[in-house]
Structure 1
Amino acid sequence: MKIAIHHRLGSFSAAWIEYCQDNHIPYKIVDAYKDDIIDQLADCDIFMWHHHHAIYKDTLFAKQLLYTLQVAGKKVFPDVNTGFTFDDKVAQKYLLEAVNAPLVPSYVFYSRSEALEWIRKESFPKIFKLRGGAGASNVRLVKSKRQAVRIANLAFSRGISTFNRMDHLKDAWRLFREHHLSWNSFCKELVRSVISTDYAQKHGREKGYVYFQNFIPNNEFDVRLIVIKDRAYGMKRMCRKNDFRASGSSNFIYDNIDERTLKIAFNTAEKIALQSVAFDFIYDELGNPLIIEMSYGYGTKGSSKCKGYWTKDLKWHEGTFNPFGWQIENLING
């Protein structure tokens, strides 16, 4: 069995390549952006591509290519079930509701009048989100009806940019002050905050819908759990200072993970038949865990320091492990 891997710096692909080399698994590097990608894959049984939400050309065709190859009989990562809600919080809402997963109450509207009517009846604060974005980007705390009305009016007129320059600059400054970002890296982010991103320039503004979630106060952290078939690992991500958001904080705790979140994560991943997924949890006012979001793609900075992993029977396995190897093993053996 031969594996084709689209290689991108900073993605899962380096770990996949290393695993194949270490375990003498036949593989080859392919270029998904080339017109002859189908021919490149002719002698391969598996295609793996860690496509990225902020690379505009990935968003144009990655899911379609992977689906096409899956229909044609090849094994792919991510497959349709795993990847179709990637970077789409609205799709995640529908999917998690459909399988009765415990989701933070979420609301989406496709007309200005319905959105304004809902805002009129609701209490605030609420969380506003664009359907795409990671690391808590495009996520705002909406403190009042008046602010929510302004957002709805904007969403159904000129639209909302996927890149918030001021938030980007604030995050860069925070990471620099907390020594998570070098001076050179901070300067690069400063320039980016002025000229925007390639994705935002090409994608344009989000418009024609508005999406809110309930704001649940007093959460000092969220729980990030990554499930790869019958194994899982994760951590607590502490909230940023003076902020409700945990994603992007770079402050992790690896102890005392709630067993209930593990059960929910394993059960939900199995219901949807996901190859690999990261679930983020917070707790409601009664202490019940609720899913905020899910994603097949996730950062590895925090998870690489996990002290072990759980199997589906909730048994803890202490020691180092290779989740990217698990992804390959599951494709070969599945």
Structure 2
Amino acid sequence: MKIAVHHRKGSFSDRWIEYLEEKNIPYVILNAFDNDIIGQVKENKVTHFMWHFNQNYYEDMLHAKTLFRSLKQIGIETFPEEDAYWHFDDKVAQKYLLEALGVPLVKADVFYHRKEAEEYIENTSFPKVFKLKGGAGSINVKLIKTKSQARKIINQAFGCGFNAFDSWTVFTDTIERFWRQKTVHNFLRVVKWGFKGIFVDKQYKVFPKQRNYVYFQEFIPGLTYDIRLIVIGDKCYYLKRNTRDNDFRASGSGMLEFAPGKFNLESVSIAFKTAQQLNMVCVAYDFIFDSGDNPLMVEISYGFQPYVYDRCLGFYDKSLSWNESGVNLEYEIVNSFLNKFP
């Protein structure tokens, strides 16, 4: 066994490398973007390749899936595995996948032609939640309250399209967070994202426009939070995310709670069952709850922001019992990955 790691500081790979060194597991750091990466993999007799690729980097999204599919052809196991990466950062793909699995989820409708989209808005009720396929932290999520607003969305979707990165939303969200939590860290975020909000970072400019489809999701009124559940192996980790003031969005709010309060534990059972169906080493779910307290899945991902979850207080097991413990999700990922693909 020999593990190749594509390392980017501040990603999962920081602790992956620590784990491999602690366990004396042979590894090599390789640059996935090297022209001769396949040759390097063969030369180093690599058996596993790990890369925490990120939806905010266009080059990652352009290259990672192609490389990993090629490596799989020569018997090299990858993290994330194909079952995890083919639908990564693609809410439309996840809609079809979760519907196929029969998972309880928030109803979503997708249209690829203007005529069908226009007929839909004439016969549906509002408000609806409009989303683009990609994007984290609610940056590409808008509440559409009227048919008139929906028509404008459709005209843009089947016209000039949408920028893949809504820099203004990121900027205004960061300002709101600063005024709510006046810290040096948040002030620096304001400066950073203020610059990005005015002069969009070059890494986002290269993403193609989103056009020729429109995605509407049912609006669940009265939400004050959602929960993030992360299943790795036989453990399910918990995080509560409160909504912004006078807003329905919880993702990206920064208003987090780590102690598991009262919530419908059926969501944990669904998370474990779905992880088995998805055949993923690591899967993060966003859940909301309807007026009857029924859990509804919103979206899934193999990846998430590192270090945030260090503040988690433990995990649920498959019997739905809570276990207090320290948390290091990156270590859990490597351990689960190597156990699944020894």
TM-score range, shorter chain: over 0.9
Deviation at 1:139, TM superposition (A): 0.3
Q: What is the root-mean-square deviation in Å for CA atoms of aligned residues?
A: 1.4
Give the direction of change, closer, same or farther, for the CA distance of 1:219–1:46 in structure 2 (3 Å limit).
same
Deviation at 1:301, TM superposition (A): 4.5
Partner of 2:250: 246
Give the direction of change, closer, same or farther, for the CA distance of 1:302–1:145 in structure 2 (3 Å limit).
same
Match of 2:221 among 217, 220, 226: 217
Deviation at 1:79, TM superposition (A): 0.5
Do 1:75 and 1:331's aligned partners in 2 also have CA atoms closer than 8 Å? no
Distance in 2 between residues matched to 1:244 and 1:301, nearest whole Å: 25
Partner of 2:98: 96
Do 2:105 and 2:296's aligned partners in 1 also have CA atoms closer than 8 Å? yes
Do 2:312 and 2:327's aligned partners in 1 also have CA atoms closer than 8 Å? no
Give the direction of change, closer, same or farther, for the CA distance of 1:70–1:312 in structure 2 (3 Å limit).
farther
Match of 1:64 among 50, 63, 66: 66
Partner of 2:235: 231
Give the direction of change, closer, same or farther, for the CA distance of 1:301–1:144 in structure 2 (3 Å limit).
farther
List per-residue Cα deviations over 1:199-244 (Å, max 9, x = no partner). 4311231000000100001111001000112211011111112211
Matched AA of 1:251: M
Partner of 2:5: 5
Match of 1:131 among 126, 130, 133: 133
List per-residue Cα deviations over 1:132-166 (Å, max 9, x = no partner). 00011100000111101110111001111122233
- Aligned with 2:291: secondary structure? coil
Do 2:168 and 2:198's aligned partners in 1 also have CA atoms closer than 8 Å? no
Matched AA of 2:291: E
Structure 1 range deviating more: 144-153 or 248-257? 248-257
Matched AA of 2:23: N
Partner of 1:164: 166
Distance in 2 between residues matched to 1:28 and 1:224, nearest whole Å: 33
Do 1:229 and 1:274's aligned partners in 2 also have CA atoms closer than 8 Å? no
Partner of 1:260: 266
Distance in 2 between residues matched to 1:45 and 1:278, nearest whole Å: 26
Once the two structures are superposed, the pairs formed by residues 26-45 of structure 1 within 5 Å of their partners are 26-42=26-42, 43-45=45-47
Partner of 1:18: 18
Partner of 1:333: 339
Give the direction of change, closer, same or farther, for the CA distance of 1:3–1:179 in structure 2 (3 Å limit).
farther
Deviation at 1:271, TM superposition (A): 0.7
List per-residue Cα deviations over 1:264-318 (Å, max 9, x = no partner). 1111111111111110000122221100111111123442211111222323221
Give the alignment's TM-score, normalised by structure 2: 0.94
Matched AA of 1:30: L
Q: Percent identity?
A: 43
- Aligned with 1:236: secondary structure? strand
Q: Give the paired residue count.
A: 334
Is residue 179 from structure 1 mapped to residue 185 from structure 2 by the alignment? no
List per-residue Cα deviations over 1:21-55 (Å, max 9, x = no partner). 12211111110010111122221111000000010
Structure 1 range deviating more: 174-183 or 246-255? 174-183
Distance in 1 between residues matched to 2:77 and 2:208, nearest whole Å: 33
Structure 1 range deviating more: 308-317 or 155-164? 308-317
Is residue 142 from structure 1 mapped to residue 147 from structure 2 by the alignment? no
Deviation at 1:258, TM superposition (A): 2.9
Structure 1 range deviating more: 144-153 or 20-29? 20-29
Partner of 1:196: 200
Is residue 312 from structure 1 mapped to residue 318 from structure 2 by the alignment? yes
Distance in 1 between residues matched to 2:294 and 2:186, nearest whole Å: 39
- Aligned with 1:54: secondary structure? coil
Deviation at 1:96, TM superposition (A): 0.3
Distance in 2 between residues matched to 1:329 and 1:74, nearest whole Å: 17
Distance in 2 between residues matched to 1:297 and 1:268, nearest whole Å: 16
